[in-house]
């Protein structure tokens, strides 16, 4: 996570289905070998959210993310800003990490995670 050109950049693992939270209960863990959807639900993907810190008034067709090289989007929807993340890679991963000692609060290119 870092700030760049009046944008906050935040990378997190995201899931397409919130039902994966139900799989974390103790009873579900005991029965995971019987649930054919168990592995499918745990396909988290690294996503990058880019949030403009001072979004200017614009029409709803204008992407508010002006950070060079970013595929993330932000759009005015009424009085709120809708943020659409960028997929960093199409590989399942958990507990992503950067070298915090060297890059905390600074732009970074690489992260590592378990898969």
pLDDT tens-digit series, residues 23-47: 889 998 888 888 877 777 778 899 9
- Higher-confidence residue of 10 and 36: namely 10
pLDDT digits (tens, 9 = 90+) for 60-87: 789 999 999 999 999 999 889 999 999 9
- 90: nearest Cα among 115, 73, 55, 54: 115
Length of the chain equals 115
Average pLDDT in the chain: 88
What is the per-residue pLDDT for 3? Answer: 93
What is the per-residue pLDDT for 44? Answer: 87
Q: Where are the domains of the chain?
A: 2-114
Q: Residue 92's CB: how many other CB atoms inside 10 A?
A: 16
- What gap in Å lies between CA 74 and CA 36, rounded to an integer? 36
pTM for this model (two decimals):
0.82
First to last CA, the chain: 21
Facing residues of 94 across strands? Answer: 114
Question: What are the two backbone dihedrals, phi and then psi, of residue 10, each rounded to the nearest 5 degrees?
Answer: -135, 120
């Amino acid at each position: 996570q870092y700030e760049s050109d009046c944008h906050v950049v935040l990378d997190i693992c995201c899931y397409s289905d919130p039902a994966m939270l139900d799989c974390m209960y103790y009873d579900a863990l005991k029965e995971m070998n019987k649930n054919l959807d168990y592995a499918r639900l745990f396909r988290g993907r690294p996503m990058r959210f880019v949030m403009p810190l001072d979004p200017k008034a614009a029409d709803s067709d204008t992407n508010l993310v002006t950070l060079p090289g970013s595929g993330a989007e932000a759009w005015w929807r009424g009085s709120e800003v809708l943020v659409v993340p960028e997929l960093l890679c199409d590989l399942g991963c958990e507990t992503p990490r950067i070298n915090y000692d060297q890059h905390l609060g600074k732009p970074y290119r690489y992260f590592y995670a378990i898969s």
